[in-house]
Amino acid sequence: MGDEFTFHNVRIVVQAICNSLKGEGRSQRGVLVGYDTRFLSDRFAREAAKVLSHNRITCYVCDRDAPTPAISYEIIRRNLDGAINFTASHNPPEYNGLKFSTEDGAPALPEITHRIEQQIRKLEQEKQQPSYDPIDEYIHEVDISEPYLKLISSKIDFEKIARSGLLIAVDPLYGTARDYLDRMLIESGCSCEVIHNFKDPYFGGYSPECSEQNLAELRATMLRKGCHLALATDGDADRFGILDRSGDFVAPNYILALLLRYIQRTRPHLTGGVARSVATTHLLDRLAERQGTPLYETPVGFKFISELMLEGKLMMGGEESAGFTMSQHLPEKDGILACLLVAEMSASTTRSLSEMVTEMFSETGPLFNHRLNLKVTAEHAERLNEKLQDPPGNLGGRKVATVNRMDGVKMILEDGSWLLLRPSGTEPLIRLYAEAPTREDLAALLDAGRNFIAQFQ
């Protein structure tokens, strides 16, 4: 913010969206404008509304910061042409972003963002300054919370959670899930300990990401209060974070696998396959195979899973970065729904989440996974990319059986273990993912990946 993310640049991007919508004949039904709790996000949203209204496009501006999944649902419910959402999701507080969602409530696919980028370049080349004198009759303030809360209430067995007597700790990380996740649990009679349920544009001095490190205060609260489960959402509430009754962080990969297993057992009306990104655990593959359902692998980016969901192919989709949705819901990741499903699943048994993982391993075989984020320079990344055009034939003395180039380079060993190297799309990082049947094999794979990358520093 204040560098590339400025009011001037936001006006250009919003005007480009207006031009793209008009060019496709999709500007008559209106556009929703939402925002998160970041510094000036509400001001950026109002600026977007000015540009939209000047283009005589009806805009519905959220009356407060709103979760990304609630914005997705409101697009569908109102039958709008799309939504502009000012959020940088789980990224540090000094960043902001503009996310465009299409008329189906899904994140815009690359071909759509490409058309918008073409319009941006055209505006810049012609040195056009977008007009932002508002036309008030085109601007409407709306509350989108109640319809979304009603939608979620139809998906979750809150009575089961309340009857279980679970004491649940909740942390929205100062983000948009305030008065959504905590409110639904409390109003349903569930016992909750809630922290960070107020607005702080600095997010307590951390990124609003549901990482193990960032959930330290949630862990301390749950242990002090004797909670059975802890639930967290990121800045725009599209990702989840879960702590077991011991206070241990449960990796999103394991939560996704447990949720798939739970959905398979409790929601037989949900049919279709399972989608995961190339970086996500193969436990989903094993669970899908046990049920005889298709498994779809996608590039990293939930928009690709959303596309399959819209095509009616999926029962569930997930990404290792804590993205989740299921059929008959939304074509967008929903951290609030994921948290509530975990609460319902926990209320259905006396076992802890870690015990559920152990039980699942007895059915599927164990798989352990981890991700490392390694900082790199542009020169380092370029040298590494050149080398990956011809990836190594073995890792740590073990033969690479196949190479998957869907997104980055994924080297799969003969026993099904795998290592994926891919550059971050937003930061100067190389992301290193690995999965193996034992912790020792996982450590060896991670070491092999680190050593391979270090050759080019």
DSSP 422: E
Average confidence (pLDDT) over 346-368 = 97
Between CA 435 and CA 452 the distance in angstroms is: 17
How much is the pLDDT for 277? 98
Q: Give the alpha-carbon dihedral of 276, 355, 212, 171, to 10 degrees.
A: 90
Q: What is the CATH number of domain 7-144?
A: 3.40.120.10
| Interacting residues of 355 by C-beta distance below 8 A, sequence separation 6+ | none
For 21-46, the pLDDT digits (tens) are: 999 888 899 999 999 999 999 999 99
Could you tell me whether strands 394-395 and 418-423 are parallel, antiparallel, or unpaired per DSSP bridges?
Answer: unpaired
pLDDT-derived band of residue 444, with 50, 70 and 90 as boundaries?
very high
Q: Is the pTM of this model over 0.85?
A: yes
Identify the sign of the CA torsion 55, 57, 61, 66.
Answer: negative
Provide the pLDDT confidence category of residue 438 given band limits of 50, 70 and 90.
Answer: very high
**For the residues 212-227, what does the mean pLDDT come to?**
97
Measured from the Cβ of residue 165, the count of other Cβ atoms closer than 10 Å reads: 10
User: CA 338 to CA 325: how far, in whole Å?
Assistant: 7
Q: Which residues contact 447 (CB under 8 A, 6 or more apart)?
A: 396
Q: What is the pLDDT of residues 224-272, one digit of tens each?
A: 999 999 999 999 999 999 999 999 999 999 999 999 999 999 999 999 9
Say if residues 71 and 148 touch (Cβ distance below 8 Å). Answer: no
Identical fold, 7-144 and 155-364 = yes
Q: How many CA atoms lie within 13 A of 167 on its CB side?
A: 10
Average pLDDT, the chain: 95
pLDDT in tens, 271-299: 999 999 999 999 999 999 999 999 999 99
- Band (pLDDT 50/70/90 cuts) for residue 132 is confident
Domain 368-454: assigned CATH number: 3.30.310.50
pLDDT band at 425, cuts 50/70/90? low
**CATH code 3.40.120.10 for 155-364:** yes
Stretch 377-382: mean pLDDT: 78
Percent of the chain with pLDDT over 70: 99
List, for residues 58-100, the tens digit of each pLDDT value: 999 999 999 999 999 999 999 999 999 999 999 999 999 999 9
Listed by start position, the domains of the chain span 7-144, 155-364, 368-454
* pLDDT at position 454: 82
Instruction: Tokens for 338, please give them.
Output: 């994921």
Q: Judging by DSSP bridges, how do beta strands 98-102 and 191-194 pair with one another?
A: unpaired
